[in-house]
Structure 1
Amino acid sequence: MRPDPELRAALTADRAGTAERIVALTADLEAIVEASRLVATDDEHDPEGATIAFERSQTSTFLDDARKRLADLDGALERLATGDYGQCEACGNPIAAGRLLARPSARTCITCAS
């Protein structure tokens, strides 16, 4: 697929937003961890401890998801640069434009993704 400037711009913007989200989530996680150090809570018996543990777990999950998304976007930008973007990694057929619009970092066609 020929590098499309609009597609590159959309992927780049999505990447920048995802990187910003990682920075914010990292700061949130650090604040949660620091707050839990300052308060002597027993997660098992203290109602607030369960909330802190949940927030830490939830934020960690969001952070992991954002890191995976960033890796997917980096891969898409790399494929775009090498001319492999829009080609299914499993079967080699083109990935439908609608799929790429819905999920720009898609690496497989609908058939192979099923």
Structure 2
Amino acid sequence: MAKSSPESEFSPAEQDAVRARLAVERAGTSEQIAALKRDFEGIVEANALVAVDDEHDPEGSSTAFERAHVSSLLTQAREYLVDLDQALERLEQGVYGRCEECGEPIPTERLEVRPAARTCVKCAGIRSR
């Protein structure tokens, strides 16, 4: 586990920029969650109006797939929202931008693409094996 530094490596202006970026990501993810909830509810409501037999109805399997797909996307979006909240906590603790595995700084480019990243590219590659 990485050693945590009590001092942030980001200036106050950089911290404000990261905080704003996380807020934008959080707002977008919250909107995505709301839209996916509406989609999921629409699928469920549409299926409630007809007697769908997933096993024998040719449309049943695609409806079940669509419901499962939207449910999976909803789960991923909710998990990302938690990741963003945890990234904000790390920023407040002064450890945002440090790899949780090796303790090295996470490259700025990675944080721009994945603002909730917990690990550097090298450690993320090792972790996914």
Q: TM-score, normalised by structure 1?
A: 0.92
Alignment of 1:53 with 2:58, yes or no, is no
**Aligned counterpart, 1:69:** 80
The answer for unaligned runs of 5 or more in structure 1 is: none
Rounded to whole Å, the distance in 2 between the matches of 1:92 and 1:101 is 19
Task: Compute the RMSD of aligned alpha carbons.
Answer: 1.3
For the pair 1:93 / 2:91, whether they are aligned, the reply is no
Pick 1 or 2: higher relative contact order, CA cutoff 8 A, min separation 6: 2
User: 1:108 & 1:7 partners in 2: Cα distance?
Assistant: 17
Q: How far 1:63 moved relative to its partner?
A: 0.4
Counterpart Cα distance in 2 of 1:41 and 1:68: 31
- Could you tell me how far apart the structure 1 residues matched to 2:59 and 2:122 are? 47
Q: How does 1:6-85 map to 2 (within 5 A)?
A: 6-85=17-96
Aligned equivalents of 1:55 and 1:83: distance in 2? Answer: 42
CA distance in 2, matches of 1:93, 1:63: 32
Unaligned runs of 5+ in 2: 1-8
CA distance in 2, matches of 1:105, 1:19: 15
Q: Aligned equivalents of 2:62 and 2:50: distance in 1?
A: 13
| Paired amino acid for 1:11 | L
Partner Cα distance (2:95, 2:119) in 1: 12
Distance 1:56 1:33 in 2: 8
SS of residue paired to 1:23: helix
- Higher relative helix content: 1
Using structure 2 for the length normalisation, give the TM-score. Answer: 0.82
Q: Deviations over 1:64-104 (max 9, x none)?
A: 11111111111111111111100111111111112111211
